[in-house]
Amino acid sequence: MSDEELEQEMTQREAAMTGLQPYQIRARRAVSDKLLRDIVNDSRRGPTAPSSLASSVQSEPRRPSGGTAPIQPPPGIEHIDRLCDEADRRARAVAVQQKLALEWIEGLLERRNPHKAKTNYDPFSRERMGLDDDE
């Protein structure tokens, strides 16, 4: 029997006799009772005072660095705004083209099947597309 197997066997026997788990026996062997007692006593006293290495002299509060600057949009934002406006205009134009094509196709299909259900739903309405009446 190797030393490791012998150690495991002794741990199992001690655990059975004391009613503890084997990991608890191994933990108890790893840390002495005195060290564990010291740790518990330290935690009961609360945090310790600052060490002597810490500076006890209070320096005057540091003033904020930098300065003041007016709040304004970052430079070049007007170019980005123009690009976004143009992209919105193109997206609306594509939506109108799709609506016209859909209406044309639906008109052709309606001639073939006049009994198709009618609906007021318009996926391209100005309201659904977020357009104001003044645009």
Q: Is residue 16 part of a domain?
A: yes
Q: Where are the alpha helices (DSSP H) in 75-119?
A: 77-112
Q: In this predicted structure, what is the pLDDT of residue 89?
A: 95
Q: Is residue 50 part of a domain?
A: no
Q: In this predicted structure, what is the pLDDT of residue 77?
A: 94
DSSP code of residue 117: P
97 SS3 class? helix
Q: Is residue 69 part of a domain?
A: no
Q: Is residue 71 part of a domain?
A: no
- Domain of residue 21 covers 3-45
Indicate the pTM of the whole model.
0.34
Q: Is residue 52 part of a domain?
A: no
Q: What is the mean pLDDT of each run of 10 residues along the chain (135 residues)?
A: 88 91 88 86 78 62 72 92 96 94 85 73 80 64
Distance CA 67, CA 113 (A): 74
Give the count of domains, the chain.
2
Residues 135, 96 contacting (CB under 8 angstroms): no
Span 37-73, pLDDT tens digits: 888 888 888 777 766 665 555 667 777 677 777 888 9
Same-domain check for residues 35 and 89: no
